[in-house]
Amino acid sequence: MFQELSGANSSKGQVSEFVLMGFPGIHTWQHWLSLPLAWLYLLALSANILILIIISHEATLHQPMYHFLGILAVVDMGLATTIMPKILAILWFDAKAISLPECFLQMYVIHCFVAMESGVFVCMAMDRYVAICRPLHYTSIVTRSFVAKATVFMALRSCLLTIPVPVLAAQRQYCSRNEIEHCLCSNRGVTRLACDDRTISSMYQLLLAWTLMGSDLGLIMLSYALILHSVLKLNSAEAASKALSTCTSHLILILFFYTVIVVISVTHSAAMTVPLIPVLLNVLHNVIPPALNPVVYALKNKELRHGLYKVLKLKVKDN
């Protein structure tokens, strides 16, 4: 699809490739950033693979909550792998050129994985809501069928609704400039090079962000508001503490994920005197959550820690 659109555009005398310049303002020493970024990428891959191994090997973790966590691990690895090899190639080998079809494909996959991660967070919030607020009905509501249907729905929603983003970008005319002041093919970074009007493309991405991410965040906040209301009614302080502890790690990751998205949107919209900030935030948002998610869950979740000890053949020290 992107190859056809690119071929049609090239016949009109447009540029044949884009050049990803990297981090604006620090081109002379940006290669030093490859060290922490490579470390984060390796951490993301190894930690998420370990999470998948733990969940598959530990029978007690074959529950809906951990199935969603496994899906999150796969999405995280996909998101990090979509951008990090190219970024490291830019920083290490100065491989800045990227063809138009590859650029638009990367743009699509990034949007798709980010939307899927948001959808998985919604599923996990709903799972915690049913487990805490409707415990007697949990096994009848959150079944394997529910997990499968929710996963398929979130995947289809993410894949279909994000298609117009690269398609609209590919239909623009790129007749002169081809240097993108970014490490990846972001929609804004690419379409700002267009010679013709990019209003429709910008409006669709804004609409997608508000409807998709906004509705997801709204459902998550509603779920946790109901959870908090239910927990506050518990007579036992110990039971309330246990119920909240199961949600702490999830809330930490959700707040980080959506807060960075809001900050990126604000910094992109504002006239930034330091363009490095939104670019760096955009890159870190695609690599830090994949590295952070499994670490936070492993630290906060007792069952995962026990599974980790078993996989690594360590003595269990938790009480």
Q: pLDDT for 53-89, tens place per residue?
A: 999 999 889 999 999 999 999 999 999 999 999 999 9
Lowest mean pLDDT segment, chosen from 1-5, 27-31, 47-51, 127-131:
1-5
Q: Quick check: 167 pLDDT over 80?
A: yes
Distance CA 189, CA 170 (A): 13
Q: Quick check: 7 pLDDT over 70?
A: no
pLDDT of residue 265: 75
User: Higher pLDDT residue, 213 or 272?
Assistant: 213
- Mean pLDDT over residues 92-97, rounded? 96
User: Higher pLDDT residue, 238 or 260?
Assistant: 260
User: Higher pLDDT residue, 97 or 189?
Assistant: 97
Distance CA 55, CA 120 (A): 17
Cα 7 to chain centroid distance, Å, stands at 30
Predicted TM-score (pTM) of the model is: 0.90
Choose which CATH entry (1.10.30.50, 1.10.3720.10, 1.20.1070.10, 1.10.520.20) describes domain 17-312: 1.20.1070.10
pLDDT of residue 20: 96
Of the pLDDT bands very low, low, confident and very high (cuts 50, 70, 90), residue 264 is: confident
Percent residues over pLDDT 90 in the chain: 56
- Mean pLDDT over residues 141-154, rounded? 95
Q: Quick check: 282 pLDDT over 80?
A: yes
Q: Quick check: 318 pLDDT over 60?
A: no
Distance CA 155, CA 123 (A): 12
- Joined together, the tokens standing for residue 208 give 């997608």
pLDDT of residue 179: 93
- How many residues make up the chain in this entry? 319
pLDDT of residue 163: 97
Distance CA 178, CA 316 (A): 56
pLDDT of residue 303: 86
Asked whether 88 and 34 are in contact (CB, 8 A), the reply is: yes
Write the secondary structure of the chain as one string of H (helix), E (strand) and C (coil).
CHHHHHHHHHCCCCCCEEEECCCCCCCCCHHHHHHHHHHHHHHHHHHHHHHHHHHHHCHHHCCHHHHHHHHHHHHHHHHHHHHHHHHHHHHHHCCCEEEHHHHHHHHHHHHHHHHHHHHHHHHHHHHHHHHHHCHHHHHHHCCHHHHHHHHHHHHHHHHHHCCHHHHHHHCCCCCCCCEECCCCCCHHHHHCCCCCCCHHHHHHHHHHHHHHHHHHHHHHHHHHHHHHHHHHCCCCHHHHHHHHHHHHHHHHHHHHHHHHHHHHHHHHHCCCCCCHHHHHHHHHHHHHHHHHHHHHHHHHCHHHHHHHHHHCCCCCCCC
Question: Parallel, antiparallel, or unpaired for β 179-180 and 97-99?
Answer: unpaired
Residue 292 half-sphere exposure, CB side, CA atoms within 13 Å? 15
pLDDT of residue 9: 54
- Mean pLDDT over residues 19-35, rounded? 93
pLDDT of residue 274: 56
pLDDT of residue 316: 54
- Joined together, the tokens standing for residue 298 give 């492993």
Percent residues over pLDDT 70 in the chain: 90
Q: Quick check: 12 pLDDT over 60?
A: no
Of the pLDDT bands very low, low, confident and very high (cuts 50, 70, 90), residue 302 is: confident
Residue 60, classified by CB atoms within 10 Å of its CB into exposed (0-12), middle (13-18) or buried (19+), is: exposed
* Averaged pLDDT score across all residues of the chain: 87
pLDDT of residue 317: 54
Q: Which residue ranges make up each domain of the chain?
A: 17-312
- The end-to-end CA distance of the chain, in Å, is 55
pLDDT of residue 209: 85
